[in-house]
């Protein structure tokens, strides 16, 4: 195994030597460039003997063909005649000298080349010194670079740490400032609230409310702070001041509107007072309040947005609801009562028309009050339902006595139809938000009318059916029918302002009083005509 390895190593070395020999005379960058003569000599050495003599002869001819321009100094002296050879010793001496000169001339290019190599060696020594100096400088520069790099890295690390500390401190400062603003802004809010020019309708007031709410909420969530009680007391003071300002503003606006409605401008002397038509009544009872609504709605919106944050706002909104409704009671109760009394006088004797007109009037009143309330407040309330209940009870108190006086069954049945169909199904069903209290009163009134209808039906069954005893006039047919028709026609010839809206000449379109009147007149006339016969 060792022999095989050694053989392989020798073969590898031979291949390396051959590769080196091949690179001595390559065309590009040879290792040992040869002249043309040297190449020919090498070539001649590599030829067979028969070819070598031919090559040698060719080289000799080429050398003979070249003119010899080299003459030694001794030969020149002989040619010039400056020296003569007359003895054998001189000849030998001259031959030795010529031989030396020839040898010296042949070695001149070697000496020149040697001198050139010495100069190149000196240049290499200088270059080596310069390289050593450069390497020394580079080594020094590398050391300085390492020093600067180390210091720069240290500075960079220190800078990054400082930046991290700065960011951490900035974040901590921001957190502290953010937490402190809930405490420091209380003094600013208190100063602004003391400003007499501050208005609850301004944008600054809404901003104050927002900041105050933020402070209250933050303190409520951090009761463990050291001065929680002190700053919470400041918040409560500011909150009480804000609530008082909003309450005073709304009360003043509503009181002014109420005064304008209750004490309208007096007419000039000698001028007739204007009658309160439906348009003027609406402008009187609603126009003044609607004109004041924007001043109140902006404040009530601010309160309604905060009612769930703080109980003070919830209590304030409830107080404002009650005060508003108290003002509307002062305005509306006398007016509604007077209007119902006017309708009672206008439709005296016509219960169906009275109920229809009175209910329609209350429907409009309830809807107008509901719309007006939403002009002042963002949403409906229980207090508003109570107010509409009280207005609707005036209708009930006005109509209930008439229900107890009605004895005619057709009238009671028509009243049931009016209350159920026209009022409950048509009005209350389509407007449940505004007419729910009115619907409850109408239901109660409908129950009363139904009870009255049951009583009268029972009485009619007992008196006119069970214990009925016909009189002479009851059996006078068809004279009685003809007479009743003539009386009905005479009643239709009354002036237009006394006629009913429905001019049908039937018993079911008349009121109970008209039917009783016609029956009584017909019976009296029939008695006078047939009394002697039936007696």
Q: Which residues constitute the domain of residue 399?
A: 246-264+282-465
Alpha helices in 263-377 (DSSP H): 278-282, 288-305, 311-346, 351-376
Residue 441 lies in a domain: yes
pLDDT at residue 266, rounded to an integer = 41
Residue 382 lies in a domain: yes
Distance between CA 323 and CA 297 in Å, rounded? 15
Contact 253, 225 (CB under 8 A): no
Residue 102 lies in a domain: no
Distance between CA 535 and CA 532 in Å, rounded? 5
With 0-12 CB in 10 A as exposed, 13-18 as middle and 19+ as buried, what is 384? buried
Residue 191 lies in a domain: no
Q: Helix, strand, coil proportions of the chain in percent (round to 5)? A: 80, 0, 20
pLDDT at residue 155, rounded to an integer = 92
**Which residue from 446, 420, 444, 423 is spatially nearest to 435, judged by alpha carbons?**
423
Contact 460, 406 (CB under 8 A): no
**What is the token pair recorded at 363?**
């429907």
Residue 519 lies in a domain: no
Distance between CA 248 and CA 320 in Å, rounded? 10
**What is the token pair recorded at 30?**
């040879």
Distance between CA 399 and CA 442 in Å, rounded? 11
Distance between CA 38 and CA 44 in Å, rounded? 10
pLDDT at residue 264, rounded to an integer = 58
pLDDT at residue 136, rounded to an integer = 92
Residue 49 lies in a domain: no
Residue 349 lies in a domain: yes
Residue 253 lies in a domain: yes
476's enclosing H/E stretch is none
Cα pseudo-dihedral 521, 525, 531, 533, rounded to 10? -130
Q: Give me the number of domains the chain comprises.
A: 1
25's enclosing H/E stretch is none
Contact 230, 215 (CB under 8 A): no
Mean pLDDT split into 10-residue runs, the chain, 535 residues: 67 71 66 67 56 51 46 65 71 77 76 87 92 92 91 91 91 79 76 81 82 79 74 81 89 89 54 43 73 88 84 88 91 89 89 91 91 88 88 91 87 90 88 88 91 88 78 76 83 53 37 52 53 36
pTM of the model: 0.57
């Amino acid at each position: 195994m060792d022999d095989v390895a050694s053989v392989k190593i020798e073969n590898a070395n031979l291949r390396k030597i051959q590769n080196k020999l091949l690179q001595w005379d390559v065309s590009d960058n040879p290792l040992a460039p040869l002249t043309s003569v040297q190449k020919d000599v090498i070539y001649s050495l590599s030829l067979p003997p028969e070819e070598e003599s031919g090559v040698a002869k060719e080289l000799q001819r080429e050398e003979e063909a070249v003119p010899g321009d080299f003459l030694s100094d001794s030969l020149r002296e002989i040619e010039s005649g400056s020296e003569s050879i007359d003895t054998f010793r001189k000849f030998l001496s001259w031959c030795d000298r010529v031989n030396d000169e020839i040898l010296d001339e042949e070695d001149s290019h070697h000496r020149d080349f040697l001198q050139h190599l010495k100069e190149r060696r000196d240049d290499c020594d200088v270059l080596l010194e310069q390289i050593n100096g450069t390497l020394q400088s580079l080594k020094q520069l590398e050391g300085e670079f390492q020093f600067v790099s180390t210091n720069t890295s240290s500075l960079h690390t220190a800078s990054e740490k400082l930046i991290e500390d700065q960011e951490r401190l900035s974040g901590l400062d921001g957190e502290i400032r953010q937490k402190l603003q809930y405490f420091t802004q209380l003094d600013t809010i208190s100063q602004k609230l003391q400003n007499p020019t501050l208005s609850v309708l301004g944008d600054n007031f809404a901003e104050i409310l927002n900041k105050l709410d933020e402070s209250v909420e933050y303190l409520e969530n951090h009761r463990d702070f050291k001065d929680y009680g002190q700053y919470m007391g400041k918040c409560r003071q500011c909150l009480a001041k804000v609530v008082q300002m909003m309450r005073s503003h709304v009360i003043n606006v509503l009181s002014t509107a109420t005064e304008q409605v209750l004490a309208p401008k007096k007419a000039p002397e000698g001028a007739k007072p204007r009658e309160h038509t439906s348009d003027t009544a609406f402008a009187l009872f609603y126009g003044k309040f609607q004109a004041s609504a924007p001043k109140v709605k902006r404040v009530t919106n601010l309160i309604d947005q905060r009612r769930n944050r703080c109980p003070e706002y919830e209590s304030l909104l409830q107080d404002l609801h009650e005060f508003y409704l108290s003002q509307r009671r002062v305005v509306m109760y006398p007016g509604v009562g007077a209007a119902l009394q006017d309708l009672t006088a206008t439709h005296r004797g016509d219960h169906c028309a009275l109920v229809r007109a009175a209910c329609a009037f209350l429907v409009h009143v309830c809807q107008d009050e509901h719309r007006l309330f939403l002009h002042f407040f963002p949403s409906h309330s229980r207090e508003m339902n109570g107010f509409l209940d009280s207005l609707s009870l005036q209708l009930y108190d006005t109509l209930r006595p008439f229900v107890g006086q009605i004895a005619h069954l057709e009238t009671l049945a028509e009243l049931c139809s009016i209350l159920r169909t026209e009022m409950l199904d048509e009005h209350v069903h389509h407007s449940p938000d505004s007419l729910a209290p009115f619907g409850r009163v109408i239901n109660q009134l409908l129950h009363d009318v139904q009870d009255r209808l049951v009583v009268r039906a029972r009485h009619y069954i007992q008196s006119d059916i069970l214990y009925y005893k016909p009189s002479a006039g009851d059996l006078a047919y068809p004279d009685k029918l003809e007479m009743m028709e003539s009386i009905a026609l005479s009643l239709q010839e009354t002036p237009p302002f006394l006629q009913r809206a429905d001019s049908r000449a039937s018993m079911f379109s008349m009121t109970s009083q008209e039917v009783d009147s016609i029956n009584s007149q017909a019976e009296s006339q029939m008695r006078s005509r047939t009394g002697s016969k039936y007696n």
